[in-house]
Amino acid sequence: MQVRVIGSRSAIELQQQLEANTGPSFQPTLAISFCNDSLLNAGIPSLYKEAGLQVFGSSSREEIAVGRIQRNSVCSMLLDPDPDFFCLSAFLLGEKTSLQLGQSVGRWARDCFEKPALLMLVGGAGFTVHTEQLIQGILNQAPDTPLFGGLASMRQFSGEAFVYDNQAVIRDGIVALALDRNHLDLSGIAISGWMEIGTPKRITRSQGNVVFEIDHQPATRIYEKYFQTNPEQEANEIFALMEYPLQVTRQDQSKVMRVPIDLNQEQGSVSFAGAMPESSLVRFCSPNIVETIRHTVQEIDRFRNRANQNSDAILLFDCAIRSNSFGTYMQREVDLIHRIWQRPMIGFSSWGEVGARHGESCDLHNTTLSLVVLRDVNSVPGELEPGQRLDSDTVDQLLEPSPEQKDLAALREEVTDLRKQKVMLSNFLALHSEDLDRANRELAVEQARSENLLLNVLPSPVAARLKAGEKTIADHYDSVSILFADLVGFTSLSAQKNARDVVKLLNRLFINFDSLAIKYGTEKIKTIGDAYMAVSGLPKKRADHAWRCVRLAQAMLRIMRQYNDRYGTQLDLRIGINSGSVVAGVIGSNKFSYDLWGDTVNVASRMESHGLPGRIHLADSTKILCEGQFRFESRGEIAIKGKGSMQTWLVVQDL
């Protein structure tokens, strides 16, 4: 397939160029055309029709021809594929939804070819045709179809953007070019390379492409805080704010760039050039220009090597915001891309880019470069031609030529770019500083919350050891006292109440028990259903641990009587205490638990289960430690499961 690129500054010059490039040696059948909106009128499409060409065209803010960025021009790529291998049609939105329009395009593509590839140009700059719905509709009807394209652009943000075929210029619609992949094929990649700045934020309220709240704050307030936006100059400032797009991470973890297109101070909302799903994470982005271009060049080089195929033509859909941000560096990026491929190349600065990032599905992008490779599959493929391999030194030299290689105009443009980058840097610093302060505050709150949660399940000395990095915490204690308490009558009462009331009942009691445990210098270990377990003598060793446990038990019985009087219940406590040696330690890695093991624990549990409602049942070991402090009543020797006969005691009163 033969390909030629021509450039014109007027309709007359375009007509002359078309005549000069049509003849016996080259008979083009298709033109891909990007016309500056200052030159576009109803007469432009007719010039292609008179030359016998189908035309796939869009208005543009800037045009790209071969390796140069043009302005106020008409750039055309002329190709000579067999007319049977492609179909071209314009589609008007009319009364359809954008989804329905996409479905119509998808069905048309499948009717054209069994195995289609699709290029599209979208009129209205995305304001009238919702491109994401359009893409969804197309792929719904023609799944697995390679799909690329761009949104028509214009010099002024408030202007109108058009697309055209050889019949008419249209705004509210699209022009679609379907290719038979058995003969002509498309492949491509969408690349942004803009760097994330600041911390992630969450969209907390949105509808479609309108964001009302970010992190529960009005969306406009976020922009006011970081970029000092002036409500009275929104129209002038919105274009500048576009240079700080948001990278949106959706719930399926796919990422896309979105630029703001309108600020509504009354609603506190910001509209974006694409859908902004609620609950998505967003981060401000901006280009470190040289690094962004390096990244783009590397990605394109990798894509070329992955494709491992020769190409006949290169199309670039290059975001107008990207061009505005890059300034003079935009020309250098285009030059580098052309050097890599060394093929006829055409493109334009678009208001949105349709394509797929590496490893992702087709999407609508902003601040992105969507590169498309057009190939005649019937030509002899041969080996992949090397193009120009650009090492890092060559890229740096082309990006940053020495001062001797620059004329006065170039130096002045560079000073303008440096001033712009200085403003960007100030905003970056504001973002980082504000977010760092907020992150530190949030971190301090989270650390305090985590520490409190840890202290709720672990004694403070044990929690400190765990935070210090100790992996295995296990200690032996020679002498401690363990208390078990069980609610008598709770099972029958809970059967008469709903779940909420049951939990409230237990919560009231156990909160009081927790306070008593702290008061008497004991450690709550855990609750098991309606049972409560505590210990005294660890992790801090105490000589009076048995006395403390008995005092805790007495206080728990008083609380139980008060609870019955207040709520009209008839619950009671059965409490057992034993003293001796135990092993204590932390188990678990995600959910920590501090627990006790040993025969002392088992006997304490038996004291509770063999005890009497409303009484404190002691093993002999605990009674001996409390001699002279309480009066006891002997229960004689009773049979304890697993232990045989044991002498046990009931606490009567203090001495």
- Reported as a single tens digit per residue, the pLDDT across 336-351 is 899 888 899 999 999 9
Q: Please, are residues 40 and 159 in contact by the beta-carbon 8 Å criterion?
A: no
Residue in 546, 632, 180 with CA at minimum distance from that of residue 378? 180
* pLDDT in the model for residue 52: 94
Percent of the chain whose predicted confidence (pLDDT) is above 70: 86
Sign of the dihedral defined by the CA atoms of residues 518, 520, 523, 527, in that order: negative
Tokens 């641990």 belong to residue: 545
Q: How many CB atoms lie within 10 A of CB 569?
A: 14
Average pLDDT for residues 130-143, to the nearest whole number?
94
* pLDDT in the model for residue 605: 92
Determine the Cα angle at 247 with ends 246 and 253, to 5°. 145
Q: 653 is written with which tokens? A: 């009163």
Residue 242 clears pLDDT 90, i.e. is over it: no
Q: Give the whole-angstrom CA distance, residue 209 versus residue 212.
A: 10
Q: 612 is written with which tokens? A: 């009497």
Please tell me what DSSP assigns to residue 387: -
User: H helices within 209-283, ranges in order?
Assistant: 219-227, 234-241
Residue 382 clears pLDDT 50, i.e. is over it: no
User: What are the angstrom distances between the C-alpha of 41 and each of 10, 120, 349?
Assistant: 11, 20, 19
Residues contacting 412, CB < 8 A, separation 6+: none
Q: Give the whole-angstrom CA distance, residue 470 versus residue 484.
A: 30
* pLDDT in the model for residue 118: 97
Q: Please, are residues 555 and 516 in contact by the beta-carbon 8 Å criterion?
A: yes
Percent of the chain whose predicted confidence (pLDDT) is above 90: 52
* pLDDT in the model for residue 424: 58
Q: 263 is written with which tokens? A: 């600020």
* pLDDT in the model for residue 594: 83
Q: 422 is written with which tokens? A: 């200085």
3-state secondary structure 308-332: CCCCCEEEEEEEHHHHHHHCCHHHH
* pLDDT in the model for residue 73: 94
Residue 251 clears pLDDT 50, i.e. is over it: yes
Q: 634 is written with which tokens? A: 């002997």
Q: Please, are residues 573 and 564 in contact by the beta-carbon 8 Å criterion?
A: no
**Which residues are 76's β-sheet partners?**
6, 33
* pLDDT in the model for residue 643: 82
* pLDDT in the model for residue 231: 53
Residue 357 clears pLDDT 80, i.e. is over it: yes
User: What are the angstrom distances between the C-alpha of 212 and each of 132, 233, 244, 321, 641?
Assistant: 20, 20, 18, 23, 67
Q: 191 is written with which tokens? A: 């690349």
Average pLDDT along the chain? 86
* pLDDT in the model for residue 636: 85
Q: Please, are residues 2 and 67 in contact by the beta-carbon 8 Å criterion?
A: no
Q: 251 is written with which tokens? A: 């719930």
Please tell me what DSSP assigns to residue 385: P
Residue in 49, 19, 46, 44 with CA at minimum distance from that of residue 34? 44
* pLDDT in the model for residue 606: 92
Of 393 and 134, the structure prediction assigns the larger pLDDT to 134
Q: Which helix (H) or strand (E) holds 548?
A: helix 545-567
Of 412 and 403, the structure prediction assigns the larger pLDDT to 412
**Which residues are 593's β-sheet partners?**
587
Residue 600 clears pLDDT 90, i.e. is over it: yes
* Burial class of residue 369 in the structure, from the number of CB atoms within 10 Å of its CB (0-12 exposed, 13-18 middle, 19+ buried): buried
Q: Please, are residues 149 and 91 in contact by the beta-carbon 8 Å criterion?
A: no
- Reported as a single tens digit per residue, the pLDDT across 150-201 is 999 988 766 789 999 999 999 999 999 999 999 999 999 999 888 887 778 9
Q: Give the whole-angstrom CA distance, residue 491 versus residue 196.
A: 57
Residue 107 clears pLDDT 80, i.e. is over it: yes
Average pLDDT for residues 406-435, to the nearest whole number?
63
Residue 235 clears pLDDT 60, i.e. is over it: no
Q: Please, are residues 553 and 520 in contact by the beta-carbon 8 Å criterion?
A: no
What SS3 class is residue 217?
Answer: strand
Q: Give the whole-angstrom CA distance, residue 303 versus residue 404.
A: 34
Residues contacting 73, CB < 8 A, separation 6+: 7, 8, 9, 35, 36, 39, 63, 65
Which structural domains are found in the chain, ordered by start?
3-192+289-400 (no CATH), 195-286 (no CATH), 471-654 (3.30.70.1230)
- Reported as a single tens digit per residue, the pLDDT across 259-315 is 888 888 889 999 998 899 999 999 988 777 888 888 888 898 888 887 666 789 999
Q: 614 is written with which tokens? A: 């409303």
What SS3 class is residue 395?
Answer: helix
Q: Please, are residues 38 and 72 in contact by the beta-carbon 8 Å criterion?
A: yes
User: What are the angstrom distances between the C-alpha of 384 and each of 268, 298, 306, 409?
Assistant: 54, 18, 11, 39
Residue 68 clears pLDDT 60, i.e. is over it: yes
Residue 321 clears pLDDT 80, i.e. is over it: yes
Task: Work out the pLDDT band at 8, boundaries 50, 70, 90.
Answer: very high
Task: Work out the pLDDT band at 588, boundaries 50, 70, 90.
Answer: confident
Please tell me what DSSP assigns to residue 591: S
Residue 623 clears pLDDT 90, i.e. is over it: yes
Task: Work out the pLDDT band at 503, boundaries 50, 70, 90.
Answer: confident
Residue 422 clears pLDDT 50, i.e. is over it: yes
Fill in the amino acid letter for 278.
Answer: E
Determine the Cα angle at 153 with ends 230 and 290, to 5°. 70
Average pLDDT for residues 226-254, to the nearest whole number?
73
Task: Give the pairing of strands 345-350 and 313-319.
Answer: parallel
Residues contacting 431, CB < 8 A, separation 6+: 197, 198, 226, 284
User: What are the angstrom distances between the C-alpha of 226 and each of 223, 259, 364, 423?
Assistant: 5, 15, 26, 12
Q: 389 is written with which tokens? A: 């391999």
User: H helices within 53-178, ranges in order?
Assistant: 98-112, 131-141
* Burial class of residue 23 in the structure, from the number of CB atoms within 10 Å of its CB (0-12 exposed, 13-18 middle, 19+ buried): exposed
- Reported as a single tens digit per residue, the pLDDT across 515-549 is 999 999 999 888 888 899 999 998 889 999 999 99
Residues contacting 7, CB < 8 A, separation 6+: 17, 63, 65, 70, 73, 74, 75, 76
Q: Give the whole-angstrom CA distance, residue 11 versus residue 8.
A: 8
Q: Please, are residues 539 and 475 in contact by the beta-carbon 8 Å criterion?
A: yes
Of 406 and 634, the structure prediction assigns the larger pLDDT to 634
Q: Give the whole-angstrom CA distance, residue 252 versus residue 249.
A: 8
User: What are the angstrom distances between the C-alpha of 409 and each of 41, 405, 496?
Assistant: 33, 12, 89
Q: Please, are residues 593 and 587 in contact by the beta-carbon 8 Å criterion?
A: yes
